[in-house]
Amino acid sequence: MTKNIAAEVIHETPIEKQHIEIVERKGIGHPDSLADGIAEEVSRNLCRMYIKEFDRILHHNTDEVQIVGGQSEPEFGGGMVLEPMFILLVGRAVTRVGDKRLPFRTTALRTADDYLKDNCPHLDPDNNVSFDCRIGQGSIDLREVYDTRNRLANDTSFGVSFAPLSETESSALEVERFINGPLKKDLPEVGQDVKVMATRIENEIDLTIAAAIVDTLTPDADHYISVIEELKDRVGDYVISHTDRDVKVMVNTADDYERGVYYLTVTGLSMENGDDGSVGRGNRANGLITPFRPMSMEAAAGKNPVTHVGKIYNIAANQIAHKIYDELQDDIHDVFVRLVSQIGKPISEPQAASVQLVVPKENKNYSSNLKTAEVITEEALDNLDRITESVLKDEITVF
C-alpha cells in the first residue's frame, strides 16, 4: 500500500448493543441547514461559472454563510413578518482573471435567492430577506496551492465517517425526509423547518420532533392540534419500517395549549423570529449529528470540491465506510474511517488513512477482511475526482 493506509480490528460494544444512543437531524428549513445549503449551492454555481468561462474550476471557498433571524407576528389564519431576515455570504474566490472581472457577486446573490425560493415555499425572499455578499479575493498562498491538475490539499484537515447507520440513526434521517417529502402532500401545514432528535434507551426510541406550522394554512387552534396529532400518527406508522424497537413520537413539546403557546410561523421557518444559523453547526456530511459516533467538526458545505479535504475527505470517508461494510457485513459490526491531509500534498496521498473494523470477539480470521478494507480504501483515494463530478451533478449531499 502506498497511501499510508492502516486497517485494524478493534473490539468494542457495537452501537446497537449500547445502552443509550442519541442522534439529531436538522431538516432542510432549519437555519443551520439553510446556511449549509446556500453555501454549497453558491460553491457549485461558482464552479459552473468557472467551467463555462475557463473550462476548469478556480479557487474558491464559500463556507461562511451567516443567517440572522428576523421578527414576525404569526397568527392563526395568517400573520406577518415584521423585520426581515439577514443573510451574509462570506468566503473567498477568484474574482478576476487577467483583465476579465468575473460576476462572482451576482452569481452568489442570485444563487442564494433562488435557493430560498426553491426550498422555502412560504418565504418571500424579495420582501422578507436582506442579502449581502462579502465574498472576496482568496489569499495568494492558497491560490497557489490550488492546483486542479495535481490536486494538492489546500488545508491540513481530516474527514471522518462510519457505517452502517444504526436503526436509531436511520430513523432520525428518514423521518425528517418523510416529513419534508411525501407527507407534505397530506399535511401542507407543516413547514420546512423540522428537527428530529432520536434518543434510544435500551429498546425504546423516543423521537422528539420540532415542526414549524404555517399560520395561513392553520385557521384556528383546533386545526393546529389536529395537524400535530396526525403528524404523530403518520410518523409512528412510517418509522416502523426502519426499526423493530418500540417507538414513541412527540411533536412540539414546548407547546402549551392552555396558555396559548403554539409553534406557529408565517413562513414555516424559525429564522423568521430570531433563530440564527451558520455553516457547519448542523448535520455532518452523512446528514446526521451523532455524538455516539466518530465525527468531524469540519463544515463540508461551501468548500471547493477539487482540493479542499474538509469536503472531499468527509465525503470519501463516508463512501469508503459504506463500501467496506457492504462487502464485509457478514463478518463485522461497524466500520470507522478517518482520513487526514497535509496542506500542499496530493489529496490522493493522505498523511494517514485509518480504517477500523469492529468485529465480534470470537472472530479470529480477519486478515482477509483487513486486506479487503485496504484495497477498497486505496481504490477510493485513487478516484477522488469522481467526488468532484458527483458534487457538480448534484448527486451528493453534504448535510
Return the bridge partners of 9, or none: 357
**Are residues 137 and 174 both part of a single domain?**
no
**Are residues 320 and 224 both part of a single domain?**
no
**Are residues 65 and 10 both part of a single domain?**
no
334-340 and 158-163 beta bridge pairing: antiparallel
**Are residues 171 and 271 both part of a single domain?**
yes
**What is residue 274's predicted lDDT score, i.e. its pLDDT?**
86
Domain-embedded: residue 398: no
Domain-embedded: residue 286: no
**Residue 132 near residue 86 (C-beta atoms within 8 A):** yes
**Are residues 221 and 238 both part of a single domain?**
yes
Which CATH number do you get for residue 218?
3.30.300.340
Domain-embedded: residue 20: no
pLDDT in tens, 124-179: 999 999 999 999 886 445 455 555 667 889 889 999 999 999 999 999 999 999 99
**Are residues 188 and 254 both part of a single domain?**
yes
**Are residues 57 and 128 both part of a single domain?**
yes
Which CATH number do you get for residue 310?
3.30.300.280
**Are residues 258 and 342 both part of a single domain?**
no
**Are residues 134 and 211 both part of a single domain?**
no
Query: Residue type at 67?
Result: I
Domain boundary among 246, 276, 306: 276
Domain-embedded: residue 26: no
pTM of the prediction? 0.94
Number of separate domains in the chain = 3
Q: Which domain holds residue 302?
A: 5-15+155-164+294-392
Q: Residues in the chain with pLDDT < 50? A: 139-140, 142
Whole-number Å distance between alpha carbons of 278 and 281 = 6
**What is residue 365's predicted lDDT score, i.e. its pLDDT?**
73
Which CATH number do you get for residue 83?
3.30.300.10
Domain-embedded: residue 186: yes
First to last CA, the chain: 32
**Are residues 133 and 159 both part of a single domain?**
no
**Are residues 160 and 308 both part of a single domain?**
yes
Domain-embedded: residue 231: yes
**What is residue 57's predicted lDDT score, i.e. its pLDDT?**
92
**What is residue 140's predicted lDDT score, i.e. its pLDDT?**
46
pLDDT in tens, 297-340: 999 999 999 999 999 999 999 999 999 999 999 999 999 999 99
**Are residues 302 and 272 both part of a single domain?**
no
3-state secondary structure the chain: CCCCEEEEEECCCCHHHCCEEEEEEECCCCHHHHHHHHHHHHHHHHHHHHHHHHCCCCCEECCCCEEECCEEECCCCCCEEEECEEEEEEEEECCEECCEECCHHHHHHHHHHHHHHHHCCCCCHHHHEEEEEEEEECCHHHHHHCCCCCCECCCCCEEEEEECCCHHHHHHHHHHHHHCCHHHHCCCCEEEEEEEEEEEECCEEEEEEEEEEEHHHCCCHHHHHHHHHHHHHHHHHHHCCCCCCEEEEEECCCCEHHHCECCEECCCCHHHHCCCEECCCCCCCCCCECCCCCCCCCCCCCECCCCCHHHHHHHHHHHHHHHHHHHHCCCCCEEEEEEECCCCCECCCCCEEEEEEECCCCCCCCHHHHHHHHHHHHHHHCCCHHHHHHHHCCCCCCC
Domain-embedded: residue 77: yes
Domain-embedded: residue 159: yes
